[in-house]
Amino acid sequence: MWGLLVATHVMANVVWIGAIASVGWLVRRAADPSLGETERKTLGQAAYRLLYQRAAAPAFAASFLLGVARLLESPKGYFSQHWFHGKLFFALVVIGLHHVVGAKAKKADGGSSQGLESSAILTGALLAATFLTVVFAVMKSSLVP
């Protein structure tokens, strides 16, 4: 049963990170001053309404709830393992960046292009933090003293 829970959690993560990275890249493209207003608005709507609201946010919610369910199975076991502290820290960084990129997508959906240029850097940071989260999860046996 727990194996299925973990597999579903990982699948939700794959969808979530793929979707939020795509949102970030579309938002950055929407900030391009060479685009017309209609093109920028279309990109902003695609980023927010199609990807963020329909894929990234639901996949994040599923991933979060499945992760909490797994954690509640054995909270003392996880919190006493040092690798988990690193994984949890970087997972929280990813969650924070998810919300910042989502806010920028909402801004782009409203037609604004102000301040959207940083979404490429934020997306890169999100992917780097995701990689570090995965490193802690996969390499846990190597990280235990």
Q: What is the pLDDT of residues 83-92, one digit of tens each?
A: 888 999 999 9
**pLDDT given at position 138:** 92
**pLDDT given at position 75:** 80
In this predicted model, what pLDDT tens digit does every residue of 33-47 receive, in sequence order? 899 999 999 999 999
Range of the domain at 90: 2-143
Give the separation between CA 56 and CA 19, rounded to whole angstroms. Answer: 5
Give the separation between CA 127 and CA 122, rounded to whole angstroms. Answer: 9
**pLDDT given at position 18:** 98
**pLDDT given at position 67:** 93
Whose structure tokens read 């940071």?
125
Measure CA of the first residue to CA of the last residue in the chain; give whole Å. 29
DSSP readout, 4-38? HHHHHHHHHHHHHHHHHHHHHHHHHHHT-TTS-HH
pTM exceeding 0.75: yes
Q: How many other CB atoms sit within 10 Å of the CB of residue 29?
A: 19
Identify the CA nearest to 102 among candidates 44, 63, 62: 44
Give the separation between CA 8 and CA 2, rounded to whole angstroms. Answer: 10
Helices 57-73 and 2-30, packing angle to 10 deg:
150
Give the separation between CA 4 and CA 39, rounded to whole angstroms. Answer: 42
Indicate the number of domains in the chain. Answer: 1
94 and 129 Cβ atoms separated by less than 8 Å: yes
Output the six-digit token pair for 10.
């990982």
Residue ranges of the chain with per-residue pLDDT less than 50 = none
